């Protein structure tokens, strides 16, 4: 209670004044909200391949804040005729939805003045491989269902904490893509 | 030309006999195609969080082939009020689609007897953050469009190589989820 007169500039590790200043900047210049993210993938062998993520365009310019690239391998496990050099591509979808909902939750909690103590989630996705194996035309290729289970502790009622997750869902980019789909265009230069 | 009598068991790093044996095993026992993948995420601070991926259920049992977990951080860049401890969640979607299409391409090429020399892809995703920032109800939260550009070299005509990519698209789990969406269920234990 000794810091009651100290301006609170961060909560949950979120710089709240900067968060609101960013919102104000976008309100004043909506065009800076146009972002283009990128990834580059190189095949290595079999189902093993590697993605590099670094630059993106946003806020009116090319971002240069990442001094090193992020590098991620993907592969299949032996049971799917791979060599376990990385998770399967579909498991990265589970990471993406958990990470997006969790980041949003921390931001929304900070904006609402709620201090979080713990946020953990488990994600499960059910998939029937008869689809991708081409063995049953009635089975889809992708997940039949994805389930995300959150455990959240913080300085608010259980109802308020659950409402933070719900608001994060309503504003989640990954949730939107995974539930509503998006346009995916593929082109090939061969030879 | 000295190995013309050697049985060819691998192409593109794909163990083709095992690939076909796996297909036969699933045809004989379709229930082994039911898979459940999992991820576990822990919030660290602000938009920074960490996912662990290791076990999954498939082929009628819990997989134990991964002796170490795969661990991935996600975060926002400074321009989005984060600290760059990892890519954004939406960038992992770009990794997932490139990795899935590339793994399928290698398998399909091997099954068709096509030797690949190089597969590279770049992925871009356009997103207008007015959606997730709650500043324009007419703008979606997720990507407006994702574009995947492949460069493929191999021992086949450009048309045949392009057809491999097309068949991979038709059998891609990630492409299906990203274009058609899926059911996502979220629950919360709070307090």
Supply the pLDDT for residue B8: 63
Size of interface A-B (CB pairs under 8 A): 490
Query: What is the spatial distance between Cα A165 and Cα A178, in angstroms, rounded to a whole number?
Result: 17
| Sign, Cα dihedral of A160, A166, A167, A168 | positive
From chain B, the residues in CB contact with A78 under 8 A are 65
Supply the pLDDT for residue B3: 44
Rounded to a whole number of angstroms, the distance between the first and last alpha carbons of chain B is: 69
Supply the pLDDT for residue B191: 81
Mean pLDDT of chain B: 95
Asked if the Cβ–Cβ distance from A49 to B188 is below 8 Å, we say no
Q: Which two tokens stand for residue A31?
A: 């065009």
Does B140 lie at the interface with A, CB-CB under 8 angstroms?
yes
Among B101, B153, B176, whose Cβ lies nearest the Cβ of A142?
Answer: B176
Supply the pLDDT for residue B1: 40
Asked if the Cβ–Cβ distance from B129 to A33 is below 8 Å, we say yes
Asked if the Cβ–Cβ distance from B36 to A126 is below 8 Å, we say yes
DSSP B144: S
Q: What is the per-residue burial (b if ≥16 Cβ within 10 Å, else e) of A55-79?
A: ebebbeeebeeeeeebebbbbbbeb
CA-based radius of gyration for chain B? 20
> CB–CB of A175/A97 below 8 Å?
yes
Confidence class for position A181, pLDDT limits 50, 70, 90: very high
Query: What is the spatial distance between Cα A188 and Cα A140, in angstroms, rounded to a whole number?
Result: 24
Q: Which two tokens stand for residue A132?
A: 């991708």
Average pLDDT over residues A47-76: 97
Query: What is the spatial distance between Cα B126 and Cα B158, in angstroms, rounded to a whole number?
Result: 29
Query: What is the spatial distance between Cα B73 and Cα B53, in angstroms, rounded to a whole number?
Result: 12
Query: What is the spatial distance between Cα B175 and Cα A33, in angstroms, rounded to a whole number?
Result: 26
| Angular region, A20: left φ>0, alpha ψ -120 to 50, beta rest | alpha
Q: Which residue of B lies nearest to A35 if distances are taken between CA atoms?
A: B127
The more confidently predicted of residues A57 and A1 is A57
CA distance A11 to chain B (A): 8
CA distance A9 to chain B (A): 13
Tens-digit pLDDT profile for residues B152-180? 999 999 999 999 999 999 999 999 999 99
DSSP B77: -
> CB–CB of A23/A31 below 8 Å?
no
Q: Which residue carries 């904490």 as its tokens?
A: A161
Q: Residue B70 contacts by C-beta under 8 Å, 6 or more apart in sequence?
A: A86, A87, B52, B53, B54
Average pLDDT over residues A13-18: 94
**Cβ neighbours, 10 Å, residue B109:** 26
Confidence class for position B9, pLDDT limits 50, 70, 90: confident
pTM for the full model? Answer: 0.96
Alpha helices in chain B (DSSP H): 16-28, 89-111, 158-170, 173-180
Query: What is the spatial distance between Cα B116 and Cα B107, in angstroms, rounded to a whole number?
Result: 10
Which residue of B16, B82, B93, B110 is the best one to mutate when testing the A interface, meaning the one whose CB has the most A CBs within 10 A? Answer: B93
Tens-digit pLDDT profile for residues A101-141? 999 999 999 999 999 999 999 999 999 999 999 999 999 99
> CB–CB of B146/B122 below 8 Å?
no
From chain B, the residues in CB contact with A127 under 8 A are 35-37, 173
Supply the pLDDT for residue B45: 98
Supply the pLDDT for residue B139: 98
Which residue of A177, A181, A185 is the best one to mutate when testing the B interface, meaning the one whose CB has the most B CBs within 10 A? Answer: A177
Q: Residue A1 contacts by C-beta under 8 Å, 6 or more apart in sequence?
A: none
> CB–CB of B168/B152 below 8 Å?
no
**Cβ neighbours, 10 Å, residue A88:** 28
> CB–CB of B107/A51 below 8 Å?
no
Angle at A40 between CA A35 and CA A46, to 5 degrees: 145
Q: Which residue of A lies nearest to B35 if distances are taken between CA atoms?
A: A127
Q: Would you say residue B7 has pLDDT above 80? A: no
Supply the pLDDT for residue A38: 98
Query: What is the spatial distance between Cα A110 and Cα A13, in angstroms, rounded to a whole number?
Result: 8
Asked if the Cβ–Cβ distance from B75 to A103 is below 8 Å, we say yes
| Angular region, B19: left φ>0, alpha ψ -120 to 50, beta rest | alpha
- In the stretch 13-72 of chain A, residues with CB closer than 8 A to chain B read 13-15, 18-19, 22-23, 26-27, 30, 33-49, 51, 53, 56, 58-59, 63, 65-66, 70, 72
Q: Which residue carries 């000794």 as its tokens?
A: A2
Q: Would you say residue B98 has pLDDT above 50? A: yes
The more confidently predicted of residues B116 and B1 is B116
Asked if the Cβ–Cβ distance from B96 to A93 is below 8 Å, we say yes
C-alpha dihedral (B43, A88, B71, A95), degrees to nearest 10: -10
CA distance B43 to chain A (A): 5
């Amino acid at each position: 209670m000794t810091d009651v007169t100290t301006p609170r500039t961060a909560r949950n590790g979120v710089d709240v004044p900067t968060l609101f200043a960013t919102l104000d900047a976008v309100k004043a210049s909506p065009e800076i909200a146009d972002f283009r993210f990128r990834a580059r993938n190189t095949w290595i062998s079999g189902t093993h391949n590697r993605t590099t993520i670094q630059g993106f365009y946003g806020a009116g310019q090319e971002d240069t804040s990442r001094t090193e690239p992020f590098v991620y391998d993907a592969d299949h496990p032996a049971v799917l005729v791979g060599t376990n050099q990385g998770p399967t591509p579909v498991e990265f979808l589970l990471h993406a939805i958990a990470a997006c909902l969790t980041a949003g939750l921390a931001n929304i909690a900070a904006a609402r003045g709620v201090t979080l103590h713990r946020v953990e989630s488990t994600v499960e996705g059910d998939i029937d491989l008869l689809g991708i194996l081409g063995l049953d035309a009635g089975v889809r290729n992708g997940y039949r269902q994805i389930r995300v289970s959150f455990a959240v502790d913080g300085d608010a009622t259980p109802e308020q904490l659950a409402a933070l997750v719900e608001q994060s869902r309503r504003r989640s980019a990954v949730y939107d893509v995974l539930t509503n789909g998006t346009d995916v265009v593929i082109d090939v230069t061969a030879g």
